[in-house]
Amino acid sequence: MTLPKRVDDQAELSHESVREAEEIFNSHLKRVGLKHTAQRDAILRTFLVTRDHLSTEELHHLVKRRDEGIGFTTVYRTLKLLAECGLASEVAFHDGVTRYEHQYNRRSHHHMVCTECGSSVEFFSPEIEKIEKEIGRKHRYVTTRHTFQIYGVCDQCQTKKPKRRK
Amino acid sequence: MTLPKRVDDQAELSHESVREAEEIFNSHLKRVGLKHTAQRDAILRTFLVTRDHLSTEELHHLVKRRDEGIGFTTVYRTLKLLAECGLASEVAFHDGVTRYEHQYNRRSHHHMVCTECGSSVEFFSPEIEKIEKEIGRKHRYVTTRHTFQIYGVCDQCQTKKPKRRK
DNA sequence: ATTGCTGCAAACGATTTGCATGAGG
DNA sequence: CCTCATGCAAATCGTTTGCAGCAAT
């Protein structure tokens, strides 16, 4: 129900897309005087072929499949870099973990999260984009991004018994 | 333009409003079999006369002015209770701290946060409410709430020099 | 009395940093 | 070479929990 996903549009991002993302990343690195390393490359590539919202932990896990030796810290720091150059963005469901998703080729989608089971649905809502711009203009902000999440109880969980007070 | 009302209803919440909020809180306590205590009362009252978005820490600080002996943990737990009965709601700016704001008499407002200086602006956008409902219906969720935040750089910070890499 | 509450201190867990070693330009 | 990157371990920091004594019903 919550993982409509990724039949094949996602499993393999086109080579040009990957190339382009690497381009963006590399020039960002250059711009701020950082180095291009094998680890950063591996992390970016791993990240690009994911979907949904990964915690640093989860991405680290995936990255290790590609290269056993890469440490958590490096993934952590690289994710920050990716966020800086716009390839990744943080999504915070309210569960104490910071997640990232890749922003590359993905526009204006948002999440609705079930507060019972934690599953989530993606939806698109272009109006939100307009609202961001409009509010920004009104208050003289240069807006860079926004977050929009809906919380509720999914169809499945509605039929289960409610819980109370852990 | 973004603050339709509340000229003076905020500096000092009316007695009836406070009363009403206490009503809500107390009946929530009763409903779930919890007790009414002096601390909880003090915390609610302190909370009600705040504005903006307080971390547990900050509220604890304020509460201590009213009653020195109240501990952090109690504030923390009470805040959860307030959130449960709808008097408070969490707002998560992406800075690692959970903040709460009181929901009492406050409808459908959102925040735009400056990523440079951390200041924030409130705005109202009733469309968002509609979108929540609509998306919920579409995916068969019973929606309970949403979060919407815009991030950007405020007027002031735009004129300052950009910073890099802490 | 009984059950929940409080505050302290300790546990927790995600995130962040210091540092010695290794690699990129 | 010199600077930055890496990975580990340790530090941090907000949050959460266990518990012994206290208070509300």
What confidence tens digit (pLDDT) does each residue in A15-30 have?
888 899 999 999 999 9
Mean residue pLDDT of chain B comes to 84
* Candidate ranges A11-25, A83-97, A99-113; pick with highest mean pLDDT: A83-97
CATH topology of domain B10-104: Arc Repressor Mutant, subunit A (1.10.10)
Three-class DSSP labels, B23-79: HHHHHHHHHCCCCCCHHHHHHHHHHHCCCCCEEHHHHHHHHHHHCCCCCHHHHHHHH
Instruction: Indicate the residue of B98, B142, B151 with minimum beta-carbon distance to A143.
Output: B151
Confidence of residue B166 (pLDDT cuts 50, 70, 90): very low
- What are B98-134's pLDDT values in tens digits? 999 887 656 678 889 888 887 888 898 888 989 999 9
Does residue A145 sit at the B interface (CB-CB below 8 Å)? yes
Query: Of B84, B101, B93, whose CA–CA distance to B47 is shortest?
Result: B101
Residue B51 has phi, psi (to 5 degrees) of -130, 180
- Out of A102-116, A129-143, B23-37, B136-150, which region has the weakest mean confidence (pLDDT)? A102-116
**pLDDT for res B106:** 66
Residue B103 has phi, psi (to 5 degrees) of -95, -10
Q: How far is A14 from chain B (nearest CA, A)?
A: 30
- Out of A61-75, A106-120, A142-156, B83-97, which region has the weakest mean confidence (pLDDT)? A106-120
Q: Which nucleotide is nearest to A73 (CA to C1')?
A: D7
Distance B73 CA to D19 C1' (A): 14
- What are A54-73's pLDDT values in tens digits? 999 999 999 999 999 999 99
Residues 109-148 of B with CB under 7 A from strand C: none
Q: Which of A84, A116, A147, A157 best probes binding to B when mutated, by most B CB atoms within 10 angstroms?
A: A147
* Domain edges within chain A: 10-104, 107-166
**pLDDT for res A65:** 93
Distance CA B78, CA B88 (A): 10
A60 touches strand D (CB under 7 A): no
- What are B25-41's pLDDT values in tens digits? 999 999 999 999 999 99
What percentage of chain B carries pLDDT values higher than 70? 86
CATH of A107-166, one of 3.30.1490.190, 3.10.580.10, 3.40.50.300, 3.40.50.2020: 3.30.1490.190
- What are B143-162's pLDDT values in tens digits? 988 889 898 999 988 886 54
- Strand D nucleotides with an atom less than 7 Å from a protein beta carbon: 3-9, 13-18, 23-25
Say how far residue A6 (Cα) sits from the centre of its chain.
Answer: 15
Distance CA A18, CA A13 (A): 7
Indicate if the pLDDT at residue A94 is higher than 50: yes
**pLDDT for res B164:** 40
Distance CA A143, CA A43 (A): 28
Fold: same for A10-104 and A107-166:
no
Q: In this structure, what token pair is assigned to residue A147?
A: 């977050």
Q: In terms of C-beta density within 10 A (0-12 exposed, 13-18 middle, 19 or more buried), how is residue B86 classed?
A: middle
Q: Which of A139, A156, A158, A165 best probes binding to B when mutated, by most B CB atoms within 10 angstroms?
A: A139
**pLDDT for res B107:** 64
Mean residue pLDDT of chain A comes to 84
- What amino acid occupies position A114? C
Distance CA A111, CA B139 (A): 11
**CB burial readout A98-128, b (16+ within 10 A) else e:** bbbbbbbeeeeebbbbbbeeeebbbbebeeb
Distance B9 CA to D5 C1' (A): 55
